[in-house]
Amino acid sequence: MELSPNNQNEDRKPILTADGLVQTSNSPFESTISQETQTSNGIGTQCQLTVDQLDIEILPIIYDVVRCVEKDPLENAVKLRESQDCNHKIFELQKRFESAREQIRQLPGIDFNKDEQLQRLELLRNQLKLKQQLIRKYKDTEF
C-alpha cells in the first residue's frame, strides 16, 4: 500500500521490468497495463478492437463515386437523378469515414505518441526475451 497524491491508501501491483526486477511503477503505461488487465478479465466496459477486427471498406464506395462523377448524361432529368445518386454515394462515403474514425479511436494504444509507443514496444520485447530465457532455463532444469 502506498499513499496517492490525495493521501489515500493506494494498492499498487508489482510489475516485472525488462531487467527482471519486480517493482511498482509510476510510468505513463501503468494505467494502460491495469486497464488492459481489467479488460482481459472482463472488468472493463469498453470493447477494445484489434486491427484485424476493423471494418474499413471504402475502396468500393470511392469507385462508385468516381464512376458516378464520370457519367455525363445529356438530358436534364437524367442529370438530376445522377446528381442525387452521386450525392447519396458521397454521403455514404462520409458515413464510412466517420465509422472508420470511431473504430480507430477504439484501438488500444492510439492515445500514445510515437515515442511512447516505441518505448512500450521495447519494454514488451525485453519482457518477452526474459520470459523466453526463463522458459528455457525451466526446461533445462532436471527434477
Q: Nine-digit cell at 46?
A: 469498453
The pLDDT, as a whole number, for residue 7 is: 56
The pLDDT, as a whole number, for residue 41 is: 37
The pLDDT, as a whole number, for residue 33 is: 42
Three-class SS state of 128: helix
DSSP state of 46: S
**pTM exceeds 0.75 for this model:** no
- Residue ranges of the chain whose pLDDT lies below 70: 1-47
The pLDDT, as a whole number, for residue 57 is: 87
Residue whose entry in the numeric block shows the C-alpha cell 527482471: 20
Residues in CB range of 85: below 8 A, 6 or more apart: 68
Q: How far apart are CA 87 and CA 81, in angstroms?
A: 10
The pLDDT, as a whole number, for residue 16 is: 53
Q: How far apart are CA 38 and CA 142, in angstroms?
A: 37
Q: Of how many residues is the chain composed?
A: 143
DSSP state of 16: E
Q: Nine-digit cell at 115?
A: 515515442
